[in-house]
């Protein structure tokens, strides 16, 4: 569903992304991992069309993003940003309803259909009881779920998530990612998410792409990408990789004790 071909993004002289080629099929979750500054967020932003790309193409279901208007784009691709300084004036329901914007006119006139879908998204993320609460009164995990519901209300086939588990504790990390997996299989979505927790990537993603310095270092299944050689080189420190006792997915154990500053 989502095909990124040879995407290059330059900010002046600095090359943030270089010839990135990825694809995500329907019903699939692709995790983008990599060190800080690798360009994960840039990739999400470029893929959604909010920053211009120097070369390369982004296609959704065969349609090039460049040929679509802004609202057409928003109907096929939704982004779940990090839950940071959300406008506190709106309620949970109002926030989710804004996800219907690509289908509303300038005046924002909503129809019964829009309310139905917003309500549906609200229930999918299990926030029904908090519908009339102000967003500022929610916890980080709940706010993240609100944004997820908003993206779902967009009715897009492709979902991009930018580090959705940052600031969430173990419980909410698992809750959110399980929810995403469920939604992916129920609605046949294509999901690309940037993660910096390698273990979560191993547990929840079908495929993993390792992004370093704006380039794809490795991509494939979790087992193929999350190897001791790859990770030791990319993160410049020794790691152990062992299989998860229950699921067999790669578990990364960093071995950084005694590490000094490298040049």
Question: Under the criterion CB under 8 A, does residue 48 sit at the interface with other proteins?
Answer: yes
Distance separating alpha carbons of residues 77 and 189, to the nearest angstrom: 10
Q: Is 154 helix (H, G, I), strand (E, B) or coil?
A: coil
Q: Are 195 and 33 in contact (CB under 8 A)?
A: yes
**Judged by CB under 8 A, which stretch of 8-16, 79-87, 192-200, 206-214 contacts other proteins?**
79-87
Chain position carrying tokens 């802004």: 70
Near other proteins by CB under 8 A, which window of 28-36, 59-67, 75-83, 172-180? 75-83
How far is it, in rounded angstroms, from Cα 205 to Cα 223?
11
Kindly identify the residues of this chain, within the stretch 178-237, that bind other proteins according to CB under 8 A: none
Tokens encoding 123? 């229930």
- Asked if 102 is part of the footprint of other proteins (rule: CB under 8 A), the reply reads yes
How is residue 136 annotated by DSSP? G
Q: Which SS3 state, helix, strand or coil, does residue 237 take?
A: coil
Residues forming beta bridges with residue 33, ordered by sequence position: 210
Cα gap 76→1, rounded to integer Å:
10
Residue 32: CA atoms inside 13 Å, Cβ hemisphere, count? 30
Considering only residues 8, 10, 54, 86, which one is a binding residue for other proteins as defined by CB under 8 A? 86
**Residue 94 lies near other proteins (rule: CB under 8 A):** yes
Residue count, binding to other proteins (CB under 8 A): 32
Q: Which of residues 89, 237, 253, 259 is near other proteins by CB under 8 A?
A: 89
* Selected binder of other proteins within 45, 124, 145, 207 (CB under 8 A): 45
Stretch that binds other proteins, among 4-12, 66-74, 179-187, 229-237 (CB under 8 A): 66-74
Among 202, 206, 255, CA closest to 227 = 202
Which of the ranges 105-113, 123-131, 216-224, 236-244 carries the binding residues for other proteins, by CB under 8 A?
105-113
Report, in Å, the least distance between residue 71 CB and other proteins. 4
Residues that bind other proteins (CB under 8 A): 45, 48-50, 70-71, 73-75, 77-79, 81, 86-90, 94, 98-99, 101-104, 106-108, 134, 136, 150, 154
């Amino acid at each position: 569903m989502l095909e990124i071909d040879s995407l290059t993004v330059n900010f002046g002289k600095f090359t943030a992304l270089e010839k990135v080629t990825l694809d995500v099929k329907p019903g699939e979750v692709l995790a983008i991992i990599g060190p800080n500054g690798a360009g994960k967020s840039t990739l999400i932003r470029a893929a959604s069309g909010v920053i211009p790309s120097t070369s390369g193409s982004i296609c959704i279901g065969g349609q090039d993003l460049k040929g679509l208007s802004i609202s057409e784009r928003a109907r096929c691709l939704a982004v779940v940003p990090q839950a940071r300084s959300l406008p506190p004036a709106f309620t949970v329901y109002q926030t989710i309803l804004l996800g219907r914007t690509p289908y509303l006119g300038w005046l924002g006139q909503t129809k019964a259909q829009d309310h139905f879908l917003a309500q549906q998204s609200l229930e999918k993320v299990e926030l029904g009881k908090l519908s009339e609460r102000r967003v500022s009164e929610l916890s980080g995990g709940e706010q993240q779920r609100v944004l997820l519901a908003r993206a779902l209300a967009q009715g897009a086939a492709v979902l991009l998530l930018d580090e959705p588990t940052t600031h969430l504790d173990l419980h909410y990390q698992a809750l959110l990612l399980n929810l995403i997996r469920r939604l992916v299989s129920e609605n046949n979505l294509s999901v690309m998410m940037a993660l910096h927790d390698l273990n979560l990537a191993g547990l929840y993603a079908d495929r993993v792409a390792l992004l370093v310095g704006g380039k794809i270092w490795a991509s494939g299944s979790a087992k193929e990408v999350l190897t001791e050689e790859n990770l030791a080189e990319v993160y410049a420190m020794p790691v152990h990789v062992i299989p998860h006792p229950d699921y067999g997915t790669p578990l990364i154990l960093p071995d950084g004790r005694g590490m000094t500053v490298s040049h």
